[in-house]
Structure 1
Amino acid sequence: MSATIVYHRARPLMEAELGDELVTLDVDAGHCYGFNAVATSVWRLLEQPCSAATIQRALMEEYDVAPDQCGQELGALIADLTARGLIRAEATLVPDGPTV
């Protein structure tokens, strides 16, 4: 078994779609957030816990972006969402691959 980091939404937010963007409201904190199309895609993926690698693969399938650029921008978005308390990171154990 090895540990991997998964991300998930920290709490539910009220949401309204505006085209391919999303506006969210944290009622408890009184904060409103606007997500562009990419951040909206990430937010949708985070309905279930998933790793940064899983999110990156999904984004690369959805958008025409180089792996390095996608990884850097995703890392910045994850850091921002974490700093704002919108998502949390947790270590989880996953089975190691098959041994030969």
Structure 2
Amino acid sequence: MIELSRSSKIVVSKDVVSCDLGGETAILEMNEGVYYGLNEMGTVIWELIQKPITLQEIVNSIREEYEVDQKTCFDDLSELIEQMIKNKLVEVL
């Protein structure tokens, strides 16, 4: 597994398509043909990673909108991104 840091740059994989379902997101990883779903917060993050962005930039953006401390935000975000990497939904640049 890749060790993520605040400077890790993340972007959506090329083999993924997604659509908005009224505040939630449906994602299809085309190589495996597997669907995934994201809740409202996952959708916020998904929108941010459409272009390459660092984990710290994502944390900063989330903290501008939501009351969450830096460590909790980074830890939760890292866990989500690790799952996305494992499922080939995002790439680390």
Offset of residue 15 of structure 1: 2.4
Corresponding residue SS for 1:11: coil
- Match of residue 17 from structure 2: 14
Among residues 29, 34, 37, which one is paired with 1:31 in the alignment?
Answer: 34
Offset of residue 88 of structure 1: 0.8
- Match of residue 84 from structure 1: 87
Q: Which structure is higher in RCO with an 8 Å CA cutoff and minimum separation 6? A: 1
Number of positions where the alignment pairs a residue of Structure 1 with one of Structure 2: 87
Offset of residue 29 of structure 1: 1.8
Distance (whole Å) between structure 2 residues aligned to residue 44 and residue 12 of structure 1:
16
Higher percent of residues as strand? 1
User: TM-score, normalization: structure 2?
Assistant: 0.82
Q: 2:21 is matched by which residue type in structure 1?
A: L
- Match of residue 69 from structure 2: 66
User: TM-score, normalization: structure 1?
Assistant: 0.77
Among residues 45, 50, 58, which one is paired with 1:47 in the alignment?
Answer: 50
* Unaligned residue ranges in structure 2 (runs of 5+): 1-6
Deviates more, 1:70-79 or 1:57-66: 57-66
Alpha-carbon RMSD: 1.5
Question: Which runs of 4 or more aligned residues in structure 1 lie more than 3 Å from their structure 2 counterparts after TM superposition?
Answer: none
Rg comparison, structure with higher value: 1
Q: Percent identity?
A: 25
Offset of residue 44 of structure 1: 0.7
